[in-house]
Amino acid sequence: MSKEATASQPRTPMGPIRVLVVDDSPTVRALLVEILRGDPGFDVVGEGADGREGCELAARLRPDVITMDIEMPRVNGHEATARIMAEWPTPIVVITGSDSVPERMRTMEALAAGALAVLPKPHGPGESAFEEDARRIVETVKAMADVKVVRRHLSSSTSTAPAGPRALASPPRPDTPPKRIVAIVASTGGPQALKAILTALPASFPAPILVVQHMADGFVPGFAEWLDAACALAVHLAEDGMAAEPGHVYIAPNGRQMGVTAAGRIELADDPPIGGFRPAGTYLLRSVAQAHGEAALGVVLTGMGSDGAEGALSIRERGGTVIAQDEESSVVFGMPGAAVQLAAVHEVVGLRGMAAAILRLTDRERSEP
């Protein structure tokens, strides 16, 4: 049975964030409600026991944000997310256990369908990790509630933004040698953007691709598996000392900073977080700039905050090239916008044109008409 509050009026600018909680476990559902109601900034307006109820309540209550489980009877969290984003676009935070391969894949598909973030289910109140879990849930739900999501068609997770690049100051010279290493950084909205880009690149792609995607602990291995299954490129969870080879993608693991040597070897380090992130996009981009200079291509995708901006500037200052996702196709223009504001970006490109731009800069012969 679903539960819902009597009040269902839209949130006022100064009012509490209206949350719908969807989870088939009564215990987990009650725990999430307790965590959220413990913060005066939230009003839990409804509870759904499966994806079907979640869709019904989303349509009726029009909450500001939804927390969504994945493995549920009747309609799972991926299917519910896809329907909600197609019919009643709402910020969605996936909260799941991700214990099995099918659940990990469905979690990633929910992100591709438009969910904004994924978190593990919280430990119980008697466990040492509970307070940190609760803090992370409260902070994430608050942050995602302010994201302006857009309607997404059920048949597609790619952007409809114009594909043409918009040049900023001093674009790369036509005679610049092709880029031989690509570093991509992303946060909120990144999983769907990365999937759209990487699935459009051929297995014969002429450069290695290193990726920092901000994601909660425990989900990055499943993210790498999901991309590997979807792409012609080979996708790996990066390991220290691994050779970065053309046609391969390397995803930074949680809890380590990722860089690369001039010889093309991946380096994982326990260096401090940058801007609260480890891995940090700026760390990766700085490393690529220092090791590869003008042969480096930096790509800054959708995401909250400013991670990657300082690193992008390092690439530009060392003669490399930086492109950023445009505001129209970004879920959040924070990271690419910060790089643009820092004058680190050569071109701003819509998501539909990003793969073509990367090919143009890494393989001049392939991209020539």
- Any domain includes 155: no
> Does 241 lie in the same domain as 301?
yes
Nearest to 204 by CA among 246, 236, 242, 245: 246
Average pLDDT estimate for 87-114: 90
CA distances from 88 to 54, 150, 153, 160, 212 (A): 11, 9, 11, 18, 31
Given this model, what pLDDT does residue 73 score?
92
pLDDT for residue 96 is more than 90: yes
Taking the C-alpha atoms of residue 104 and residue 227, their distance in angstroms, rounded to an integer, is 12
The CATH number given to whatever domain includes residue 88 is 3.40.50.2300
Report the number of distinct structural domains present in the chain. 2
Residue where one domain finishes, among candidates 94, 116, 145: 145
Tokens 């290493």, residue located = 181
> Does 133 lie in the same domain as 177?
no
Its pTM stands at 0.89
The CATH number given to whatever domain includes residue 300 is 3.40.50.180
Are the beta carbons of 82 and 56 closer than 8 angstroms? no
Average pLDDT estimate for 221-236: 96
Taking the C-alpha atoms of residue 354 and residue 360, their distance in angstroms, rounded to an integer, is 10
> Does 130 lie in the same domain as 71?
yes
Given this model, what pLDDT does residue 72 score?
93
Burial of 44 (0-12, 13-18, 19+ CB in 10 A): buried
- Any domain includes 152: no
> Does 180 lie in the same domain as 130?
no
pLDDT tens for each residue of 42-86: 999 999 999 999 999 999 999 999 999 999 999 999 999 999 999
Structure tokens at 253: 């693991």
Residue where one domain finishes, among candidates 97, 114, 145: 145
User: For the chain, what's the residue count?
Assistant: 369
- Any domain includes 322: yes
- Any domain includes 89: yes
**pLDDT level of residue 230 (50, 70, 90 thresholds):** very high
Taking the C-alpha atoms of residue 68 and residue 80, their distance in angstroms, rounded to an integer, is 9
> Does 204 lie in the same domain as 130?
no
- Any domain includes 246: yes
Residue 294 DSSP label: G
pLDDT tens for each residue of 18-50: 999 999 999 999 999 999 999 999 999 999 999
> Does 286 lie in the same domain as 170?
yes
Of all residues in the chain, the percent with pLDDT exceeding 90 is: 81
pLDDT for residue 141 is more than 80: yes
Given this model, what pLDDT does residue 98 score?
65
Taking the C-alpha atoms of residue 17 and residue 24, their distance in angstroms, rounded to an integer, is 22
Taking the C-alpha atoms of residue 223 and residue 250, their distance in angstroms, rounded to an integer, is 11
**pLDDT level of residue 15 (50, 70, 90 thresholds):** confident
> Does 282 lie in the same domain as 202?
yes
- Any domain includes 161: no
- Any domain includes 157: no
Task: Identify the bridge partners of residue 267 per DSSP, sorted by sequence position.
Answer: 259
> Does 345 lie in the same domain as 201?
yes
Average pLDDT estimate for 211-225: 94
Query: Which residues are catalytically annotated?
Result: 187, 214, 307
Residue 254, φ and ψ in degrees, nearest 5: -65, 145
Per DSSP, the three-state class of 215 is: coil
Given this model, what pLDDT does residue 167 score?
56
Per DSSP, the three-state class of 269 is: strand
Q: By residue range, what is the domain housing residue 219? A: 166-367
Within the chain, strands assigned E span 3-4, 17-22, 42-48, 65-68, 92-96, 117-120, 166-167, 181-186, 209-213, 234-237, 248-251, 257-260, 266-269, 296-300, 321-325, 347-349
Residue where one domain finishes, among candidates 110, 145, 180: 145
> Does 217 lie in the same domain as 132?
no
Given this model, what pLDDT does residue 149 score?
84
- Any domain includes 192: yes
Task: Identify the bridge partners of residue 235 per DSSP, sorted by sequence position.
Answer: 249
> Does 190 lie in the same domain as 136?
no
> Does 235 lie in the same domain as 340?
yes
Query: Which DSSP string corresponds to 50-93?
Result: SHHHHHHHHHHH--SEEEE-SS-SSS-HHHHHHHHHHHS---EE
> Does 171 lie in the same domain as 117?
no
